[in-house]
Structures are given as C-alpha cells and as structure tokens.
Amino acid sequence: MSEADVKRDMIKSVKDAGGYARRIEDQYGVGIMDTILIPLGLPVFLAEVKMVKGYSFGPTARQLLELERVRMAAFDKGHVIPIVIGYKEGNYYFHEPKHVIDCRECFSVTSLNMSFNEQLVQYYHSRRR
C-alpha cells in the first residue's frame, strides 16, 4: 500500500464516522503537514503521515519545525493537536512530534478490526489520562 492509499483510507474512515478530514496538497509548501483530521466532536489533528520502514519513522527537520510551531501556537489548550502517524503492514502508530520515533514508543492498536477513526479517538483519550 502506498502513502497516498494510506491517507485516502484514513480520510475515508474519519469522514464515514461523521468527522472532517482532508489531505493538504501543496508542492511549494515545504514542511506543511499533509493531513487535517477532525474526528466527530474532537479537536483538530494536524498530521504528518509516514510509511514505517524498519522500526522507526519521523518527520523531516522542516516538518518537525512546522509541527512544533503548531504545538506552541496551540499553547497546550488541546484544540489543535500536532501528530505524526506511521503506517506499516496494516498498523497505525500515533506519536507526538519528534525527530525519530520508535514504533515501540507509540500508541498503537493491535486489532485490525478497529477503523482508523476509532484508533485516532482512542489515541486522543489515552493522551488525556
């Protein structure tokens, strides 16, 4: 599955559950997050989606800078959540922005019976504890 396929499935899952989701396509917008995800009734997630090769993944230096700017502007109020989402072999890996992210440090659901939207909602609630 390609990164474009993964993003398409993620967006469809959020929309099917009544939320809003959109890919951001801007060939000149260096470092801009590539996905807006708003699960029904939850805050906005500005996400950078990465295919996982091996056991780690992460944004480029410029993407990390942009994700950090979002985090600082949101001022820990929770209305906008910057996130990096990895994908490998049917599994999603959710993590706050960091240069190198180890899959073992991520929030991930092992059940493939759960939609992406449900996993994102679970990630959101796991952060609030």
Kindly state the tokens that stand for 34: 């590539």
Domain extent listing, the chain? 3-127
In the numeric block, the tokens 């699960």 are attached to 39
DSSP string, 39-80: -TTS-EEEEEEEE-BTTEE---HHHHHHHHHHHHHHTT-SSE
Residues 75-128 have pLDDT tens digits of: 878 899 999 999 999 999 999 999 999 999 999 987 778 999 999 999 999 987
Res. 35 pLDDT band, cuts 50 70 90: very high
Topology (CATH level 3) of domain 3-127: Trna Endonuclease; Chain: A, domain 1 (3.40.1350)
Give the pLDDT of residue 129.
65
Average pLDDT, the chain: 93
- In this prediction the pTM is 0.94
